[in-house]
A = this chain, B = another copy of it.
Amino acid sequence: MKRLHRKERVAAILKILSDNPNKVISLGYFSDLFQSARSTLSEDIAIIKGVVESLECGVVETIPGAAGGVKYVSGVSKNEETEFINELCNMIKNPTRIIPGGFLYMNDIIYSPDIASKIGIIFSQHFKDKNPDYVITVETKGIPIALMTAKALNVPLIIVRRNSKVTEGSTVSINYVSGSSKRIQTMSLSKRSVEKGSRCIFIDDFMKAGGTANGIIELMREFDSSVVGIGILIESFTESKRLVDDYVSLMKLKSVNEESGEIVLYPSKQI
């Protein structure tokens, strides 16, 4: 690569760090790439820390020692998070979203790459200190937000299937009772998916009584692994006892009135 000036190099380093959130990149890597002395790069990193701070888009950390380097941890400011979740609530509260049965059509929102990315960054802020090895979700609707959470945390995604598939090889399946409908459901995961002793964050788009979350906890036990965090986009009020109590939700859905078109939904943090 041709030699870059500081103003170019600083931008290039931030671009590389930002494309690889939560990944430690050694100064040696940058030194080889840009033919620059480590002392010069340390000054570059100091400038980058200031830029990220000004943009309030996370934090750049320097990790000392032989395995050290620098990493970008993605984030959004408290204000931006609040504004974003308010905006989501307003989008969802549109009566045209009501589907017979009192469900809400949300695919356009939860499958939007932009929105899913931001939700992923918000969840990653909640769970980064749990040092997770994986993000786990159940097919299908939670996959985009779970993938973006995994990207922000720099860990692999695991997708649990509703039925075991021949293309997954040997699987572990469990039956569980859905907390709200009381129906027996199955979930299934390839034996190769998870290493023993892993720490997982479960991410899903919706939670009512928590039967699925509870099922995932049980499934992870079969892998000698544990669920160290649960992130839910929307939790719904339920009269049955909730089966899990330690979780983070971004929004709470109180009621959907099919006749009047009223949807009572608010950010979880307001409570």
Interface residues of A (CB under 8 A from B): 1-2, 4, 6-8, 10-12, 14-16, 18-20, 47-48, 50-52, 54-55, 57, 99-101, 103, 105, 107-108, 111-114, 116-117, 139-141, 143-144, 147-148, 150-151, 154, 156-159, 161, 166-169, 190, 192-193
Contacts and interface: CB of A to CB of B under 8 A. Distances in A.
Contact of A10 (B10, B99, B107, B147): B10
Contacts of A10: 7-8, 10-11
A105 B168 contact: yes
Nearest to A147: B144
15 contacts: A1-B54, A4-B51, A8-B47, A10-B11, A12-B55, A15-B18, A15-B51, A16-B55, A19-B117, A103-B167, A107-B190, A108-B156, A139-B140, A144-B147, A147-B147
Contacts of A15: 14-15, 18, 51-52, 55, 57
A271 to B, nearest CB: 25
A18 B10 CA distance: 14
A141 B143 CA distance: 10
Contact of A48 (B11, B108, B143): B11
| Copies of this polypeptide in the complex | 2
B51 A12 contact: yes
A165 to B, nearest CB: 9
A237 B157 CA distance: 29
Contact of A50 (B8, B52, B158): B8
B111 A158 contact: yes
B157 A117 contact: no
Contact of A51 (B11, B103, B116, B193): B11
Given A15-B52, A111-B159, 17 more contacts: A1-B54, A4-B51, A7-B10, A8-B51, A10-B10, A16-B55, A105-B192, A107-B190, A111-B157, A111-B158, A112-B156, A113-B148, A116-B147, A141-B159, A141-B167, A143-B159, A147-B148
A166 B16 CA distance: 43
B7 A7 contact: yes
